[in-house]
Amino acid sequence: MSDQSGLQDTTVSLNNDNMSTSGKAGRYGPLYAPVPIVAITVKGGQTFHLHKHVLTKDSLYFDRALNGLFTEAQGQTIDLDDIEAEAFGLYVSLVYPTALSEQEVSLCNVWQGPGKYAWLDLLRLWQLADRFLNAKIKRIANEELDKRFSKLSVDAWLHRYQVRTWPYIKATVSDLNCAFRVCVDENLPYEDAFIIGLSNCPPQVFAECAEGLDSDFLSPVAKLFAIRMASPTLTARKRQMDEMREAKGLTVPSGNAKVTNVDVAFARHAWDHFADAGL
């Protein structure tokens, strides 16, 4: 009799647990209870089999596709034939940690290696997080990209030039060129950051590596590089001379415009003024 009573108590306990499974899943994460497996097929016909609740937890894109009225929701399959398997794998590698952990996840906690990740991997991660409307992974990718861009400062470039070999430096510049190309071709919002980053390099690096850059990358980089290398004193003189011309109602010559005697006299007067002022 006591054995039957104990069995009844156990049965009641199990039933109560089953009734509260949905509540516990909310507290303990999306894998607390059995969940459906969905199939995501990418370019080349390769298929990822993933836990639905994990994939949809932080992604509005997958949530709408798999839980809405779309065809994908009926078959619990999605075809992403424009995405390479390796790129989607980068995204999936962050999906599980960010969905299952209540703590903030950083890339170094997930991706193995020395901490320097390929530019294209970071750009692909950001791109897919943006596409799949996953704010957590997008933040992680953006933070890591910002760290990498901070290592393209003038001081960082100078250190790199002093301690690294030419093959390493040329490979670094080539990687920046490739990353810029992806940003332009696929409309990613980081092309200006790559332009600024490379324009911070020492003159020796620019002279050695400029020939290998794409023309639409070389042109803006060269412009910023020239401005950075320009003499501040000469630039200040030129700016003040133009301002004095405008104040006197004189036009600033441009192109093949004829320079008059008035312009010459004014220029001499202005130059003497700057010389007296020690500029």
Which residue, 214, 217, 218, is CA-closest to 191?
217
Q: How far apart are CA 276 and CA 28, in angstroms?
A: 77
Average pLDDT over residues 235-260: 65
Q: Which two tokens stand for residue 54?
A: 């994990």
**Burial letters 119-154, b for 16+ CB under 10 A, else e:** bbbbbbbbbbbbebebebbbebbbebbeebeeebee
Domains of the chain: 23-120 (3.30.710), 232-276 (no CATH)
Q: What is the pLDDT of residues 135-192, one digit of tens each?
A: 999 999 999 999 999 999 999 999 999 999 999 999 999 999 999 999 999 999 999 9
**pLDDT for 5 beyond 50:** no
The pTM of the whole model exceeds 0.95: no
pLDDT confidence of residue 159? 97
How high is the mean pLDDT of the chain?
81
Q: What is the pLDDT of residues 37-88, one digit of tens each?
A: 999 999 999 999 999 999 999 999 999 999 987 777 777 889 999 999 999 9
pLDDT of 196 over the 50 cut: yes
**Helices assigned H by DSSP within 134-165:** 135-150, 154-163
CA distance 199 to 193: 10
Q: Could you report the per-residue pLDDT of 78-132, keeping only the tens digit for each?
A: 999 999 999 999 999 999 999 988 888 888 878 876 557 899 999 999 999 999 9
Burial of 251 from C-beta contacts in 10 A (0-12 / 13-18 / 19+): exposed
Residue 190: count of CB within 10 angstroms of its CB? 19
User: Helix, strand, or coil here: 8?
Assistant: helix
